Amino acid sequence: MADNMHRRAKKSLGQNYLVTDAVAERIVEALSPEQGELIFEIGPGRGALTSHLSASGADVVAFEIDKVLAEELKREFRDNGNIEIVREDILKIDFDREAEKRGKKKYKIIGNIPYMLSSTILLGIPGWDGSTRTVIMVQKEVAERIVTPVGERNCGLLTVFLQSYLNVEKVLKVVAGSFCPRPGVDSAVLRFIPFRKEGAPADRMLYFAFLKKAFSMRRKKLRNVLFREDTAAKREGAERLEILSGVDMSKRAENLKLDDWFNLFSSYVEMG
Ligand code: SAM
């Protein structure tokens, strides 16, 4: 069976299948699936997580882009009334709309996702309004960066953006040997729970664009990153922003706390 998995796995779709069942079980446990609740699975592959989800009695909708896999999964789960397999590209899916179609407002999301989709999918999480909990596997280094406390050295754009809207925790490390074919890197499973943080910007897109700019030269002082030309207007702009926001503009992006980011962003927007 492992040989078969190897031969057919498509690298372009990030097809590394989880083959250690105890790990699959622990990942699903991290989601705490409950009878009757709606769960969306991203990239079910050969059903490693899907079968544990099915056993929980939750209503599972699993989106798989690969036609052959989707057909196989449909056959495998045809007698499980609580499993719906949809052949679709996850990037085309609006989870809130999918939930509404099924008469639900709230849902959970789970996925051992292809690494090349990690950033795109992670960035979408704060915008999934009905999501109550998300459990996603990513490359170990990406996971470590995301859970780094905001204001510490390893923190980056994704760290600040995600932690502005969600509580994030690393629940499990998964070694490369748990997959077939074996990937070149280890993985980790993250759990995201929405959390309304005082002062978090309502305009997430604009906030993200601002953070992207601020982190574009992470070793430089913020005043030089946010106001690039060396002119009197720049110096004045940086000074005004410092007074308005109360944030020291000689700091670097990685040194700011969450409240600093919220203040800096709202003052930056206010300045126009
Ligand atoms: N969840 C399975 C497991 O743990 O063994 C499979 C994991 S594998 C890393 C990723 C899966 O996502 C593959 O089955 C792949 O075909 C699927 N996939 C890749 N791109 C996708 C996309 N854009 N939309 C939906 N599924 C996708």
Who's near 69: CB < 8 A, 6+ residues apart?
44, 45, 46
**What's the predicted TM-score (pTM) here?**
0.94
The per-residue pLDDT of the chain, averaged, comes to 94
pLDDT in tens, 192-205: 999 989 999 999 99
Residue 90 Cβ contacting ligand 1 at under 6 Å: yes
**Cα 100 to middle of ligand 1, angstroms:** 24
pLDDT in tens, 210-228: 999 999 998 899 999 998 7
**Cα 113 to middle of ligand 1, angstroms:** 6
pLDDT in tens, 12-65: 898 999 999 999 999 999 999 999 999 999 999 999 999 999 999 999 999 999
All domains in the chain, ordered by first residue: 2-194 (3.40.50.150), 204-271 (1.10.8.100)
CB 165 within 8 A of CB 197: yes
Q: How many helices (H) and strands (E) does the chain have?
A: 12, 9
Residue 183 Cβ contacting ligand 1 at under 6 Å: no
